[in-house]
Structures are given as C-alpha cells and as structure tokens.
C-alpha cells in the first residue's frame, strides 16, 4: 500500500512537470498582427436562456472586428428567451428557430453552422461574456497565424464570486484547461470547450459535422475535436483579452450534474487520450483514501506519509504557478492542498454516481 501511495504521488508530479514545461512555452500575451482578417460567424445556440442571452448578445456586438455576424439559434425555448433580444436592432444579428427538438444541442448547432454565411465559425454559449472587445480579433488572428491551423481552442474561466463551491469550480475548470492546452501543445489535442471555440466551416463539413457521434446527446465540442483534430491543425489562444467568462453553478447538485454531462462523452475518446486522462485522474482520486488506510492500519507510517504529502504539494505549488498566472487563477494557487483534497472527494463521488446518470438537454 505504501508503494502504491508513493507511485501515485510520483505520477501527479510527473504530469505536472509535463504541464509546467508546456506552459513555459505557451505565451499568454503574444499578439499576432494580421493585415487582413476573415469574416466570422459567431454562433450561439440557446435554450431557456432568458436571464443571460440579452447581455451576451450585447457584449458580442461590442466586438472591435471588421466583419462578423451573430447567428442565434433558438432550440425550442419555453421561457420567452427570444423576446429579450428582439429589441436589439442590429444588422449583424440573425435569429433562427431549430427545426427539430432533439436531445442535446447538436442538431440545432448543425443547423446554425449550416446557416453561417462566413468561412470561420466561432462558438460560444448564451451565458458567456467575452473579457474584452478584442475577443474575436485574438482568436481569428491565431487561426490565421499560419496555413495549417483550422481549429483554435480558447479558454473560458468561471467568474469569481464568494464561496467555496465557486472557488472549487474555478479550480476544476482551470485544471481541465491545463490538460487540454498542454496536450494541444504536445500535438495530441483531445478537446475544447464550446464556450470559446473557433474553426473553419469547411472542416466541419469535411468531417460531416457531428455524424460520428450523433448517438450521444453531448460532445459537440470535445468529440468534434476528437474527430477533426490532427497533429498540425489545432492551435490555442491564451491572451487574457480572448477569455470568455461564464457563471459557475451555485448549488452542489447542479454542479455535479453539469460534470456528469461532460464525462459521458469521454468513452469515445482515442485510447491514448483515455489512458492519459485515466492515469492522471486516478492519481488524483486515489491518494486520499490510500492515505487514510495507511494511517488507520499503519500509524507508524503517518510521519513519512505527511512528509511525502508535504513534498508533493510543495512541488505542485512550484509547478502550477505559471499555469495559474496564465489561466486567471492566482488567488487559487496557494490553496492547492485544499483543492487537491477536495478533488479526490469529488472524483470518488462522481465515480459512484456516474453509472446511474442519464443525460438531458
């Protein structure tokens, strides 16, 4: 058991060394200068988003970008969401209603992308707010930075509010981003988030949209990356002005349901992605119960166990400093031992609950 604990601790440190070296190379402030930027179609699929849609659309319309349109697809809302934006008079806005009421939002999103007039599709959600008026500019500049890039991964942190759940949500979002940006850096991209994701429309058409995973309600972002990403066609943008902020869930029940929706798609990942994610995830999950078992059944090891944990956390604090700076998580950094502990408890609960979950949109 002691050897297992040491191995798990070592695995966490090794992964964080890989993340550290990736983020040392990733620049958060590199502004690419492009004389000509292509027109962009911002696509927002919404369902019962009356409380947030108006503010999101207004923030998107404030973008300082030469040519763009905003495709708004109503996926059978019942709360009068459309009424909140009908008074916004702007020729950039185009409002549509989905033709099929299907589980998930893939059907509505496919329709919206098909209706886009421009060659670049930029996805976000109805509850998201761009950090600046340069949001489209930075993402499009990254897309046009070379001839190979067809997909750009953006970052979408949670808005900071008081409370432990919000802080943990921000930490978990940051940790997920660390992984998918680092793996994109190492040329093995596995996901993006639909709150801040840009790609060329012809890539969507070439890969027949979401056909490969049409049987799953979710996966309009991560599974599309799984099917369309290559070693060379994925780039990322981590300029702070390109971030898109969203509100975290305010109850533990809603938060867990949201995360259960996300993990249902991981069964379709490539085998090496599943291996990497599983090994890292298991190291996060297992260290706490193993520590408790060691203390209960081998109390003489308690001092050594605490020493190993202390060394591990010091190393993780050092290795995670750069990532927290880039990913809007400076205030989370020195509480890393707390988040590490809560993450283990959270993953245990999620593992127990996952087999009984059924996804709804």
**Which residues face 96 on adjacent strands?**
73
Longest pairwise C-alpha distance within the chain: 72
Distance (Å, whole) CA 185 – CA 21:
10
| Average confidence (pLDDT) per 10 residues, the chain, 361 residues | 91 97 76 75 96 96 97 94 90 94 88 97 97 97 92 97 96 97 96 96 91 77 92 95 95 84 81 96 96 91 92 96 95 96 94 69 45
pTM recorded for the entire structure: 0.93
What CATH number matches the domain at 28-251, 3.40.50.1000, 3.60.21.10, 3.50.50.60, 3.90.550.10? 3.90.550.10
Residue 359: the pLDDT is 53
Cα–Cα distance for residue pair 340/334, rounded to 1 Å: 11
Hey, where are the domains in the chain? 2-23+270-354, 28-251
Neighbours of 352 (CB within 10 A): 9
Task: Measure the CA–CA gap between 263 and 219, rounded to whole angstroms.
Answer: 10
Give pLDDT, residue 357. Answer: 60
Alpha helices in the chain (DSSP H): 2-25, 53-61, 106-115, 135-143, 164-185, 201-206, 222-228, 252-263, 271-297, 302-326, 336-353
Phi, psi of 257 (to 5 degrees): -65, -40
Distance separating alpha carbons of residues 191 and 220, to the nearest angstrom: 10
The DSSP call for residue 108 is H
From residue 23, alpha-carbon distances to 117, 183, 201, 274 in Å are 36, 11, 29, 22
Read off φ and ψ for residue 108, nearest 5 degrees.
Answer: -65, -40
**Contact between residue 111 and residue 132 where contact means Cβ atoms under 8 Å apart:** no
Give the pLDDT score at 29.
46
The per-residue pLDDT for 101 is 86
pLDDT at 32: 54
Report helix, strand or coil for 338: helix
pLDDT at residue 21, rounded to an integer: 95
Rounded Cα gap, residues 272 and 307, in angstroms:
33
pLDDT number for residue 210: 85
């Amino acid at each position: 058991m002691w050897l297992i604990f040491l191995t798990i601790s070592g695995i966490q440190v090794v992964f964080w060394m890989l993340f550290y070296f990736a983020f040392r190379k990733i620049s958060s402030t590199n502004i690419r200068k492009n004389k000509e930027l292509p027109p962009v179609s911002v696509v927002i699929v919404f369902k019962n988003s009356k409380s947030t849609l108006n503010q999101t659309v207004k923030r998107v319309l404030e973008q300082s970008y030469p040519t763009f349109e905003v495709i708004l697809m109503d996926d059978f809302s019942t709360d009068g969401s459309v009424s909140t934006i009908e008074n916004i008079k702007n020729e950039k806005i185009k409002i549509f209603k989905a033709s099929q009421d299907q589980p998930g939002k893939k059907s509505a999103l496919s329709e919206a992308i098909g209706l886009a007039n421009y060659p670049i599709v930029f996805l976000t959600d109805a509850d998201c707010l761009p950090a600046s008026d340069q949001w489209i500019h930075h993402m499009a500049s990254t897309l046009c930075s070379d001839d190979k890039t067809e997909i750009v991964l953006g970052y979408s942190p949670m808005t900071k509010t008081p409370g432990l759940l919000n802080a943990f949500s921000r930490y978990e979002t940051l940790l997920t981003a660390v992984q998918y940006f680092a793996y994109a850096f190492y040329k093995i991209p596995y996901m993006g988030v639909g709150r801040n994701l840009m790609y060329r429309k012809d890539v969507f058409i070439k890969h027949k949209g979401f056909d490969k995973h049409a049987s799953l309600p979710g996966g309009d972002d991560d599974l599309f990356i799984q099917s369309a990403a290559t070693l060379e066609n994925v780039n990322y943008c981590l300029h702070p002005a390109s971030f898109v902020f969203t509100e975290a869930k305010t109850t533990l029940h809603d938060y867990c349901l949201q995360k259960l929706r996300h993990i249902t798609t991981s069964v379709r990942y490539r085998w090496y992605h599943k291996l990497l994610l599983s090994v890292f995830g298991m190291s996060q999950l297992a260290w706490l119960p193993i520590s408790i078992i060691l203390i209960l059944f081998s109390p003489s090891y308690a001092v050594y166990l605490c020493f190993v944990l202390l060394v591990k956390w010091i190393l993780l604090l050092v290795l995670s400093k750069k990532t927290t700076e880039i990913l809007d998580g400076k205030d989370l950094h020195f509480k890393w031992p707390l988040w590490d502990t809560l993450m283990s408890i959270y993953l245990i609960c999620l593992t127990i609950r996952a087999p009984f979950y059924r996804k709804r949109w």
